[in-house]
Amino acid sequence: MTAGNRPLVYGHRGARSEEPENTLRSFRRAAALGADGIELDVRVSADGHLVVVHDATVDRTTDGEGEVAALTLAQLRSLDAGSGERIPTLDEALASFDGLVQVEIKAPEAVRVIRDLPDRAVLTSFHPDVLEDAARRLPGVARGLITHDPGEAMLRTAKDLGATWVCPAHTDALTAELVERCHAAGLRVDSWPAADRQLMRRFVELGVDAVTTDHPGLIDGWLEG
């Protein structure tokens, strides 16, 4: 928990509710809004560069078309990702924000391309095999398991993986008792989505360590009001 007894706040793909997601503009906006960290998504271009984009294709988030893995960095850079922004590389994203960073691996091959990450970064994935590969290749980098299904299996899998974080979606199965068990196992808990005042207050009641939200600028107001 941060000072003031609120969870850490991660801006989901930056400040996604206000700026084009996964862009430098979005990450800088999240910082300006007081986010403690950002969450971003990583894939690999056709010529082997780590790029920050959520979907397997560029169709939804840019003015282009095609699979990210089939486009070179130069081709990806030629696209408008919103408000004139370009798809950033992972290095550019890290340089744009000096707080905490969750790097979600969207393409398993990204683990083979990442050479190093700062101590403030955590590698995350929904897929245990991706985190196993990360543990072998990047043993010094913290790891987090994302899941739609909080519960015993989540806790067991995260412990087996040597993860330091679990990132469960909010469901009825996410209880204060489960959060306490995670803490007892040495796991920190980042839940999502912190989408409104009611959910944010619920996360505080549960005792989670962090939340991920599209609305980093609204969190403190939701807790105060």
Asked whether the predicted pLDDT for residue 1 surpasses 70, the reply is: no
Mean pLDDT of 46-70: 98
Tokens of 158: 């995260």
Residue-wise pLDDT tens digits, 148-175: 999 999 999 999 999 999 999 999 999 9
Asked whether the predicted pLDDT for residue 224 surpasses 50, the reply is: yes
Q: Sign of dihedral through CA atoms 215, 217, 222, 225? A: negative
| Rounded-to-integer distance, Cα 190 and Cα 209, Å | 6
pLDDT at 193: 97
The DSSP code for 199 is H
Residue 4 pLDDT level (bands cut at 50, 70, 90):
low
pLDDT at 5: 76
Tokens of 133: 């590969």
Q: How far is CA 111 from CA 69, 153, 192, 219, in A?
A: 14, 24, 24, 32
What value, to the nearest 5°, has the Cα angle with vertex 66 and ends 65 and 67? 145
First vs last C-alpha separation in the chain: 19
Tokens of 178: 């489960």
| Rounded-to-integer distance, Cα 98 and Cα 203, Å | 25
| Rounded-to-integer distance, Cα 23 and Cα 61, Å | 10
Mean pLDDT of 8-25: 98
Residue-wise pLDDT tens digits, 191-219: 999 999 999 999 999 999 999 999 999 99
Mean pLDDT of 33-59: 98
Is pTM beyond 0.85 here? Answer: yes
| Rounded-to-integer distance, Cα 221 and Cα 6, Å | 12
Helix (H, G, I), strand (E, B) or coil at 92: helix
Tokens of 118: 């700062």
Could you tell me which of 43, 61, 21, 84 has the C-alpha nearest to residue 213?
21
CATH fold for the domain made of 115-224: TIM Barrel (3.20.20)
Question: Is-cis flag, bond preceding 118, omega within 30?
Answer: no
Helix segments in the chain, DSSP class H: 24-32, 73-77, 90-96, 110-113, 128-137, 152-161, 176-184, 197-206, 219-224
205 C-beta neighbours (distance < 10 Å), count: 10
Ranges of each domain in the chain = 115-224
Annotated catalytic residues are 12, 54
Mean pLDDT of 46-57: 98
pLDDT at 37: 98
Asked whether the predicted pLDDT for residue 3 surpasses 50, the reply is: no
| Rounded-to-integer distance, Cα 148 and Cα 166, Å | 11
pLDDT at 55: 98
Rounded to the nearest integer, the mean pLDDT of the chain is: 97
Mean pLDDT of 69-96: 98
